[in-house]
Amino acid sequence: MARPATFNKRDNEKKKQTKRLEKQKRKDERKTSGKSSMDDMIAYVDENGMISSTPPDLQKKEKINQEDILIAVPKKEDVEAAPLKGRVEHFNSDKGYGFIKSLGTTDKYFFHISNAPENIAEGNTVSFELERGARGMNAINIEIDK
């Protein structure tokens, strides 16, 4: 025969009560030991970035004057960019555009006839400057080298 259901309920309730009491007892023991778990978690970082368990020595602390701190972007010096060298790789005179391949790199740059001399042709060695366009870098101020 099976045991009545009320007997199991009483046992379960007693077990829960004993667990609660054990938990409370452990909590009280931790409180009386004097050392909290938060003290174990604190770590300090010294001036060299090393983590230690002891607080830093405040006597060694260097005083910094607030006025000595500069917060600014350094001024950009106006340096004139040297013109790039390249060779006209493709030029379509009907549509008025072409491409220049840089001699120093493998990059190709688009140019429009309005930024080039009238007598430009494929194979010419040119010097040019760059400008950011809608689809990338464009060659401007194109001059044919002799």
pLDDT, tens digit (0-9, with 9 covering 90-100), for 36-73: 667 677 888 887 888 888 887 777 777 888 888 888 88
Residue 95 is classified by DSSP as T
Which helix (H) or strand (E) segment holds residue 112: the answer is strand 108-112
pLDDT score, position 26: 92
Q: How confident is the model over 77-131, as pLDDT tens digits?
A: 776 767 789 999 999 989 999 999 999 888 999 999 998 998 899 999 999 999 9
Structural domain includes residue 116: yes
Number of structural domains in the chain: 1
CATH code where residue 125 lies: 2.40.50.140
Q: How confident is the model over 109-120, as pLDDT tens digits?
A: 999 999 899 889
Expressed in percent and rounded to 5, the helix, strand and coil fractions of the chain are: 25, 25, 45
Structural domain includes residue 38: no
Q: Which long-range contacts (CB under 8 A, 24 or more apart) does 71-79 make?
A: none
Structural domain includes residue 94: yes
Q: How confident is the model over 12-39, as pLDDT tens digits?
A: 999 999 999 999 999 888 888 766 667 6
